[in-house]
Amino acid sequence: MAANIAERVHYPLDSSSYKIIDEIGAGNSAVVYKALCIPINSTPVAIKSIDLDRSRPDLDDVRREAKTLSLLSHPNILKAHCSFTVGRRLWVVMPFMAGGSLQSIITHSFQNGLTEACIAIVLKDTLNALSYLHGQGHLHRDIKAGNILVDSNGSVKLADFGVSASIYESNNSSGGGSVACSASSSSSNSTSSFMFTDFAGTPYWMAPEVIHSHNGYSFKADIWSFGITALELAHGRPPLSHLPPSKSMMLNITKRFRFSDFDKYSKGHGGSNKFSKAFKDMVASCLNQDPTKRPSSEKLLKHPFFKNCKSSDFLVKNVLLGLPSVEKRYNESKVVDPNSKGSDDDDEDPGMQGNVKQRRISGWNFNEDGLKLEPVFPKDHCRDDVVKQVRFEEEKVIKEHDVVASGTVMEPKPNTSSDVVDHDESLVVEKVGSNIGGRVVNNREAMLGTLNVLKGSLEQELGQVKFLMNLIGGEEIHVADSEEQMVQEISKLRTELEVERKKNLQLELQLENIKLHLSSAVNSPKS
């Protein structure tokens, strides 16, 4: 009854009805506030204020996020009370979750991770949310502790649908919103009805097939991120986050000498025996390299690890008790280290702001005994041979990249099978040769050039893409075992070509129009 009435409450649609108390999170183009809704008994709310002028040119993503939030209804999903514009900002009014995000909780009080009993409660509720979402045809695409919130009564809710996507809408433009999300850029449209190919999420948590997203990915990508989140809750941080979140991070970890750091880290945190067999097994199933072998959220809920799961009261007593308020934690984190992970309801590492990240991971191997995720680098691995470079802030990339390129990364290394490519599009896929025959892609200069030219004129682009296709076709002779990848590569390039052709046609039409005017100008005498 009470819940029914609460649902009917209409939150006011003007900013003057809300009194902002404190900032509790911030990201690239959004700030999250704690506020009171004055007309409704000064109910506390969280307001996510998104700068619309800074978001992508078309507002479709923002619309989709707002719609998703309005139409989802599940006890473990943080929904929006309402949303409205205030000048150039969009205000999304949501219930205030007094405990804040799990990420903020572990950063503040549980730096070595939560106990398994607590993890089970959090993860079970998260799975309930995921199961609902997937049943609705939605992918969350950004599952991580920073997006799992707790209320003062211990109830757990999954938040932030800034990059979520729906299989029912995937035919509209390219998915992948970037409203207030840390990392998102999209390239091609989805290839099949239930698959996505655009790149969205936050790198640490990202499934291998999302990183190699041109092959397509689906619901199981969320399951991977869910597994990483389990590790995050258990260890107090996601795997590999001991490496500095700087622009060179992923470039660095692909280098061999960095491996020692990782070993040190692994040894330093060696207490893996504290985890139960059930937990390790559950995480391992989520972190299977093969998406089809990962369990569905529905199936995962039946895993022994979630049996005898304690109630939310347990969470209140063991995690929330004595914890400073969300706003206090947020402000403290800002004072201690402006670059530390202080973000809360919002999902961004402040360290990410203004930084370009270039990350390359060819794969992850989960070490079940140690409950650790270990990186696989292109060099050491034969199967994962497509590497992607992502960039996060468009304008700065070229400059920053030049610095990187002239530095250590581009050193000619005979066996380095991958390379960094700069490109006008926000996402670049690069073909990397297989190591089986010890072969190196010796055409990489040409490839680099080709991909660079893509940002040139459209006519040139058409020619160059054809050239690139030939190039890849030619490579097949040398690198037989990656034929499949190449076929996929080619089909992806074909799609891109098609898109470019369409753009070209449009531009030609425009040009013709202008020409028409020009020619009539020539004919008419000028005064």
Partner 1 sequence: MKGLFKAKPRTPIDIVRQTRDLLVYFDRSTESRDSKREEKQMTELCKNIRELKSILYGNSESEPVSEACAQLTQEFFKENTLRLLIKCIPKLNLEARKDATQVVANLQRQPVQSKLIASDYLEKNMDLMDVLIVGYENTEMALHYGAMLRECIRHQIVARYVLNSPHMKKFFDYIQLPNFDIAADAAATFKELLTRHKSTVAEFLSNNYEWFFADYNSKLLESSNYITRRLAVKLLGDMLLDRSNSAVMTRYVSSRENLRILMNLLRESSKSIQIEAFHVFKLFAANQHKPADIISIFVANKSKILRLLDEFKIDKEDEQFEADKAQVMEEIAALEP
Positions marked active-site? 142
**Using CA atoms in the order 261, 265, 268, 274, what is the torsion angle rounded to 10 degrees?**
-160
Q: Which helix (DSSP H) or strand (DSSP E) does residue 150 occupy? A: strand 148-150
- Judged by beta carbon, residue 218 or residue 435, the one nearer partner 1 is 218
- Taking the least distance from each CB to partner 1, the nearer of 112 and 457 is 457
67 is a site residue for partner 1 (CB under 8 A):
yes
Minimal distance, residue 84 CB to partner 1, in Å: 5
| 514 lies in the site for partner 1, by CB under 8 A | yes
Residue keyed to tokens 């690239």: 28
- CB nearer to partner 1: pick between 498 and 512: 512
Strand ranges across the sheet with 43-51:
18-26, 30-37, 43-51, 89-95, 82-86
Q: Which of 22, 23, 60, 425 binds partner 1 (CB under 8 A)?
A: 60
Distance separating alpha carbons of residues 422 and 503, to the nearest angstrom: 21
Query: What is the smallest separation between the CB atom of 392 and partner 1, expressed in angstroms?
Result: 14
| Residue 253 or 454 having the CB closest to partner 1 | 454
CA 373 to chain centroid: 18
Numbered residues of the known binding site for ATP? 48
Q: What type of residue is 513? A: N
CB 447 within 8 A of CB 417: no
**Euclidean distance between CA atoms 409 and 413, whole angstroms:** 9
Kindly state the tokens that stand for 202.
């936050």
Task: Decide if residue 460 touches partner 1 (CB under 8 A).
Answer: no
CB distance 23 to 326 below 8 Å: no
CA neighbor of 345 nearest in space, from 176, 178, 124, 95: 95
Binding pattern to partner 1, positions 71-100, x when CB under 8 A?
x-x--------xxxx-xx-x----------
The two structure tokens encoding residue 356: 């370009």
Q: Candidates 41, 57, 257, 525: give the one binding partner 1 (CB under 8 A).
A: 57
Q: Mark the binding-site residues, compressed into ranges.
A: 48
Nearest-CA neighbor of 279 among 236, 241, 234?
Answer: 234
Choose the stretch contacting partner 1; rule: CB under 8 A; options: 60-68, 270-278, 366-374, 468-476: 60-68
Stretch that binds partner 1, among 55-63, 242-250, 321-329, 364-372 (CB under 8 A): 55-63
By CB under 8 A, what part of segment 172-211 binds partner 1?
193-194
Please list the residues that pair with 387 across neighbouring strands. 430
Shortest CB 516 distance to partner 1, Å: 8
From residue 289 to residue 308, the character string flagging contacts with partner 1 as x (rule: CB under 8 A) and all else as - is -------x------------
* Position among 6, 436, 487, 509 found at the interface with partner 1 (CB under 8 A): 509
The span from the CA of 141 to the CA of 418, in Å, is 26
Interface residue with partner 1, options 257, 292, 517, 525 (CB under 8 A): 517
Quick one: 74 exposed, middle or buried, by C-beta within 10 A (0-12, 13-18, 19+)? Answer: middle
136 sits near partner 1 (criterion: CB under 8 A): yes
By CB under 8 A, tell whether 13 contacts partner 1.
yes
Asked if residue 211 lies in contact with residue 89, where contact means CB atoms within 8 angstroms, the answer is no
Q: Are the beta carbons of 102 and 233 closer than 8 angstroms?
A: yes
- Kindly list the residues in this chain that would bind partner 1 in the complex (CB under 8 A): 10, 13-14, 52-53, 57-60, 62-63, 66-67, 69-71, 73, 82-85, 87-88, 90, 136-137, 167-168, 193-194, 296, 394-395, 457, 507, 509-510, 512-514, 517-518, 520-521, 524, 527
